[in-house]
Structure 1
Amino acid sequence: MGDSVASPLIWAITIVVTVGVLMVDLLIIGRRPHEPSMKEVSVQLGLYVGLAIIFGVCLWVFAEPHALSPNPGPEFFAGWLTEYSLSIDNLFIFIIIMAKFAVPREYQQTALMIGIVLALIMRAIFIVVGAAAINNFSWVFYIFGLFLVWTAWKLAKEGAEGGDDEYEENKLVQLAERHLPATKEWHGTHLFAKENGKRLITPMFLVILTLGTTDLLFALDSIPAIYGLTKDPYIVFTANIFALMGLRQLYFLIGGLLQRLIYLSYGLAFLLGFIGVKLILHAMHENELPFINGGEHIEWAPDIPIWLSLVVIIGTLAVTAVASLLASRKMSEEEIEARTGSLQAPGTGNDSH
């Protein structure tokens, strides 16, 4: 792990602590499935956000600058805020998935927690692959940058068209529904159940499969985005951990407020577009492709400093939130639904289709 601000020991401690926290969380939720109170999720979310801030400050003060991470602290905060903002957008899909499968409110915590564990595993794989690609092929920044610009255009287009409130199941989930013996009855949080001596998958199995495959698609956007802010795999990993660890609490806490973030797609589109351009400029600065500038570095292409990235990220999120809330106050519920889709906040939906 020489290409990181963290030593092998720090990596090991981070992984052990992360696994420990996840296991404790899973055991507590598994023993007592319930719909959490606002106080419960507020305290937990405050704890995770506080820990993320403390972690970032420690990196800022104590971490030594490195070739892959000249500014560890600011890079962490920029990456964490970007991942968190993308996670908030993902909550739209999570709410639709919960409504589609009519997940009882007391089981939603378990479904989300298992989905988060799967997301961390998949993102860890993407982080390793991304780090290897970056270390060996500088031109990969062209691909990451163009992909983010394309994603930004798609998000902006969806925002202009009023959002997409229809969730289409992916092929893997459709195959599971068609070909695996299943029961429509809920058996607590169990993924499998026996009925008449036959082993069947439960609705919870399909929910977890849907959340897991959806998280995989989300990682395709988020990992290139954060590699546009830092090249250090340790910072990429920890920023993802802190963003995902608070996602379950945010799901229950944010409630109806999520519907009122009517300009979220535009804000995220601008952010992803900005990071995409940053990556392309960096790729030009480090250029080695023979058909671009004869394989020579393009010296006039500036590297956007991390402090400017951090200012743009914070400013964009603040403007998006304030503009959304001010505009939504003047709209009727029907107008808000037309923009964001008809989403039911966690804890307000019915328990049946």
Structure 2
Amino acid sequence: MNNETIFLLGFLVFIFFILALDLGLLKKRSDTISMKQAGLMSFFVVALSMCFYFILITYGHLLHGIDSMSKLQSVIAAHHHPVKVIPNDLEHSIQLYNQNLGLEYLTGYVVEYALSVDNIFVMVLIFGAFGVAQKNYHRVLFWGILGAIVMRFIFIFVGAALIEKFSWIMYVFGAFLVFTGIKMFFDKDGDDKIDTQNHPVVKFAKRFFKVHDHFVGNKFFVTIDGIKKVTPLFLVLLIIEATDLIFAVDSIPAIFSVTKDPYIVFFSNIFAIIGLRSMFFLLAGIIDRFRFLKVGLSVLLTFIGLKMLTHSYLEAWGFTTSHSLIIIVGILGLSILFSLIFPERKKERKLKFDPEHEDNLHR
């Protein structure tokens, strides 16, 4: 078993332990999550993410089993790390490599965490449209995030293999992100609605499953007159998974613009994902106050796409991961600052959100 496998297996064991704490495997019953609980859990997950950053800048070379100058140079070349080794000084060269590895992880984490906010916008709409009771959010998000981890794992390592084999794919990713960023900017004021009857996922599910018309507590499946049916809560879970799949198409190429090391992409991605549930409960009630956040995310995606399209020129000019991180944090910080300085005028909310009400899903 090589170093990458050991490192990855250890990471996955650690992540599933955190999921047990964060998503409620240790809870005996579903319950609503208070702002205080969500805030504490968000702080805890972010703190763990920062601890992992310090692990990388100290022991990052162990990930790929770097124990010689030749091995270090081959790993740097394979993953296109912007690190210049110091001849005949392995220890100092490894320090430079670890520092860059940590910076790439941190930048990727910030990008993914920021893009996850847009995911929360959609989750609020989905839960509100289907009338999911707040006490059942926890169960849906638990299974949704587990599914997201599996999908991200597949996406990231398949994407890394494609980039290694076909380097021109980076330009395709870049063009796609620029298109997505521009489209998001012009759609930022759109009135997003979820059609519970005609949603593509609902139609797909009805082709393969018997669908019950009513919620049955927190159950995904129910047997009625000997016939097993899926409940509307299961349909909500399917839509959440499909939504994450769509967001992954944006976020994963975005992190590949920061680092080509699939393990660092995976680590930063998963740390952001496990913080999504607590961030949802923290922001769901106030997310509409950040009126310029979608503008910031659209500019962020456009910047990352342009960076991917012009990466060879930027590298020649000395543009580094540190510069990317500063620009990314600056974009997000300004969008939040402008939202606080120039709040939207009070008007009737677009989404009437009653978390304790469970509407029926009519076929």
Q: Distance in 2 between matches of 1:208 and 1:199?
A: 17
Q: Could you say if the C-alpha distance between residues 193 and 138 of structure 1 is closer, same or farther in structure 2, counting changes exceeding 3 Å?
A: same
The residue aligned with 1:167 is 194
Residue by residue over 1:13-46, the C-alpha shift from the partner in whole angstroms, topping out at 9 and shown as x without a partner, is 01222233335535235x3111112222221111
Secondary structure of the 1:194 match is strand
Secondary structure of the 2:161 match is helix
Shift of 1:269: 1.1
Give the conservation status (yes or no) of the 8 Å contact 1:158–1:265: no
| Matched letter for residue 206 of structure 2 | E
The residue aligned with 1:42 is 39
- 1:331 pairs with 2:345: yes
Number of residue-to-residue matches in the alignment: 325
Q: Distance in 2 between matches of 1:178 and 1:140?
A: 35
Secondary structure of the 1:21 match is helix
Q: Which of these residues, 315, 324, 330, is aligned with residue 309 of structure 1?
A: 324
The residue aligned with 1:225 is 254
| Matched letter for residue 22 of structure 1 | L
Percent identity among equivalent residues?
A: 36
Give the conservation status (yes or no) of the 8 Å contact 1:99–1:349: no
Q: Which of these residues, 271, 281, 291, is aligned with residue 300 of structure 2?
A: 271
- 1:352 pairs with 2:349: no
The residue aligned with 2:215 is 186
What TM-score do you get using the length of structure 1 for normalisation?
0.85
Which structure 2 residue ranges, 5 or more long, are not aligned? 62-71, 84-99
Q: Distance in 2 between matches of 1:237 and 1:226?
A: 9
Q: Could you say if the C-alpha distance between residues 140 and 58 of structure 1 is closer, same or farther in structure 2, counting changes exceeding 3 Å?
A: same
Shift of 1:247: 0.8
Shift of 1:61: 3.6
Q: Distance in 1 between matches of 2:126 and 2:206?
A: 15
Q: Distance in 2 between matches of 1:235 and 1:166?
A: 35
Give the conservation status (yes or no) of the 8 Å contact 2:130–2:358: no
Q: Which of these residues, 200, 203, 206, is aligned with residue 229 of structure 2?
A: 200
What is the RMSD of the two structures over their aligned residues, measured on CA atoms? Answer: 2.3
Give the conservation status (yes or no) of the 8 Å contact 1:48–1:245: yes
Q: Could you say if the C-alpha distance between residues 60 and 343 of structure 1 is closer, same or farther in structure 2, counting changes exceeding 3 Å?
A: farther
